[in-house]
Amino acid sequence: MTALSDVTILVPGRLNPDTLAELKTLARVVERPNGDISDLSEAERASVRGAAVMGVVSAALMDALPNLEVVAHFGVGYDGVDVKHAVSRGIPVTNTPDVLTDEVADTTLGLLLMTARRLSAAERYLRAGRWAKDGHFPLTETTLRGRSVGIMGLGRIGLAIAARLEPFGVSIAYFNRSERSDVSYPYFATLGELADAVDTLIIAAPGGAGTEKAVNADVLKRLGSDGIFINIGRGSIVDEDALVAALQDGTIKAAGLDVFADEPRVREDLIALDNAVLLPHVASASRHTRAQMGSLVIENLRRWFAGETLATPVPEAQKAGLVKRP
Ligand code: NAP
């Protein structure tokens, strides 16, 4: 058993400031906000036994840290972490599930309403003084009334989105790799079939190779000209060229996006579109929820070095039995 106070934790890239401040009171922290550790001496690199990170952890970064034992990721989606490499080196990765589920689901409903009822455009209209000058904001062509919603990724967040959608009186269906036995929503075995069946598609699935550009021109066409597309999963799940084209030429009606292919850069042709609502990856970004995520990051680090079972190892680490310090 090792106390966290005896351990050096690397924080490559940016981390929630409150979490970073707390971590600094508990452990020795080496910060590299730009993610570059090339200036660390060999002795400094050798002293690092844990990493707390929001975003990318490459194989090269792990290999530059010979005594790295554990990677605690801030966020439930850990597609930026090379987990395969971590596991091959016997390094467990942890993430922050559950504590952000409600916040992300709340934001998704907000984004859906903003998109269907053009609420951000309406607010811009008021602030530009156009209400008094030009009269009422135009009636929206879209509404949630009578909509059929498909969810790609009916996991923790997808289920919380579905629960919030139920009182809105919309129909709900889903696509996962496997059908759930605990819900009665209609299941579709492919994304294309789901898109055929609904007019509103919400993505709440993880990024990574398995979902790369799953939402392509064909899926958007099948969603149809009244289609609303919402993505709070990962930008990599969407072919952004196809999405921009579909929004420009009326293949679908509108999109609400919290995630993008090349964050924090958002393409100009997307920004130029009036039928897209764009949020800067804020689905879990409240002080309250980020504090809970930070506590879980720190709790995982504490447990690892204390020789206790990790609170939230990712499935790949669980499968490899990497849940407790040997
Ligand atoms: P989760 O409980 O693991 O749910 C993931 C769901 O996606 C599962 O239902 C899974 O079902 C499905 N899925 C996985 N791979 C798939 C594939 N290749 N094709 C189709 N479905 C697939 O995870 P969660 O906690 O709900 O989080 C989901 C994701 O939301 C995260 O990974 C992250 O990318 C994103 N997220 C975004 C924000 C944000 O700020 N915008 C915040 C939090 C989370 P099967 O295993 O049966 O396929």
Is residue 315 within 6 Å of ligand 1 at its C-beta? no
Is residue 110 within 6 Å of ligand 1 at its C-beta? no
Atom of ligand 1 nearest to the CA of 78: 32
Q: Is 73 a catalytic residue?
A: no
Exactly one of 28, 117, 164, 281 is catalytic; name it: 281
Report which of 29, 88, 32, 83 is spatially closest to residue 58, judged by C-alpha positions. 83
Concatenating the DSSP letter of every residue in 85-154 gives: HHHHTT--EE---STTHHHHHHHHHHHHHHHHTTHHHHHHHHHTTHHHHH-SPPPPS--STT-EEEEE--
Is residue 283 within 6 Å of ligand 1 at its C-beta? yes
Is residue 157 within 6 Å of ligand 1 at its C-beta? yes
CA nearest ligand 1 atom 35, residue: 233
Q: Is 263 a catalytic residue?
A: yes
Is residue 71 within 6 Å of ligand 1 at its C-beta? no
CA nearest ligand 1 atom 3, residue: 155
Tally: H helices and E strands in the chain: 14, 11
For 236, the enclosing helix (H) or strand (E) is none
Atom of ligand 1 nearest to the CA of 234: 34
Is residue 256 within 6 Å of ligand 1 at its C-beta? no
How would you write the pLDDT of the chain (326 residues) with one tens digit per residue? 789 999 999 999 999 999 999 999 999 999 999 999 999 999 999 999 999 999 899 999 999 999 999 999 999 999 999 999 999 999 999 999 999 999 999 999 999 999 999 999 999 999 999 999 999 999 999 999 999 999 999 999 999 999 999 999 999 999 999 999 999 999 999 999 999 999 999 999 999 999 999 999 999 999 999 999 999 999 999 999 999 999 999 999 999 999 999 999 999 999 999 999 999 999 999 999 999 999 999 999 999 999 999 999 999 999 999 999 98
CA nearest ligand 1 atom 41, residue: 232
Is residue 281 within 6 Å of ligand 1 at its C-beta? yes
Task: Pull the structure tokens for residue 105.
Answer: 């689901």
Q: Which domains does the chain have, with CATH numbers?
A: 4-97+287-319 (3.40.50.720), 101-278 (3.40.50.720)
d(CA 117, CA 236): 26
Exactly one of 49, 222, 234, 303 is catalytic; name it: 234
Q: Is 85 a catalytic residue?
A: no
